[in-house]
Amino acid sequence: MSLAAELLVAGLLVLGGAFILIGSWGLARLPSLMTRLHGPTKASTLGVGACLIGSMIYFPASGATWSAHELLITIFLFLTAPVSANMIAKAHLHRQGHGIDPNPADGIVSGLPAPPSGGDWATFHGAAEDDDAPPAHGDAAAS
């Protein structure tokens, strides 16, 4: 294995590890769920992506055959990460209702602000007729 390939793989692994650590540090450190959603996106795109590209360079460079497994994992993560983040945000929104994440640093003192066009947020439309969701604040009060 040549020195250039080794340097490249080591650099990509260091980059990936650093981004994964930064993403999880953000998950542990940020103040509310909507801000915490931001941190792991770095880990799941740049972090895992750099590790997978590093392994994609390592195996052909060390004499093994090239395989598409790493690309499959990367594509799958890139496709599913936005969907699962959207689902988590939506579940959180419906559990917390309009009292979601008061954040004085952003000037949001009372919770979810009203949309500028009037009415209610689109995700709450139709929530009244199939309202078998748990009551708002139930989760926050239990913890």
Partner 1 sequence: MTILSAGLGFALACISLAILLNLFRLVRGPTSGDRILAVDTLTINAIALIVVFGVAHATETYFEAALLLAMVAFVGTVAYCKFLLRGDIVE
Which residues bind to partner 1, rule: CB under 8 A? 1, 3, 6-7, 9-11, 13-14, 16-18, 20-21, 23-25, 27-28, 33, 36-37, 40, 43-44, 47-48, 51-52, 54-55, 58-59, 62, 64, 67, 69-70, 72-73, 76-77, 80, 83-84, 87-92, 94-96, 130, 132-134, 139-140, 143
- In whole angstroms, how close is the CB of 94 to partner 1 at the nearest point? 6
Helix (H) or strand (E) holding 110: none
Q: How far apart are CA 3 and CA 9, in angstroms?
A: 10
Nearest CA to 112 out of 103, 84, 36 is that of 103
- In whole angstroms, how close is the CB of 106 to partner 1 at the nearest point? 18
Q: What backbone phi and psi angles, to 5 degrees, belong to 29?
A: -100, -30
Q: How far apart are CA 19 and CA 38, in angstroms?
A: 13
Q: How far apart are CA 26 and CA 35, in angstroms?
A: 9
Residue 70 tokens, joined: 């790493």
Cβ nearer to partner 1, comparing 47 with 112? 47
Per the document, the length of the chain is 143
- In whole angstroms, how close is the CB of 134 to partner 1 at the nearest point? 7
- In whole angstroms, how close is the CB of 59 to partner 1 at the nearest point? 7
Cβ nearer to partner 1, comparing 21 with 114? 21
Cβ nearer to partner 1, comparing 118 with 134? 134
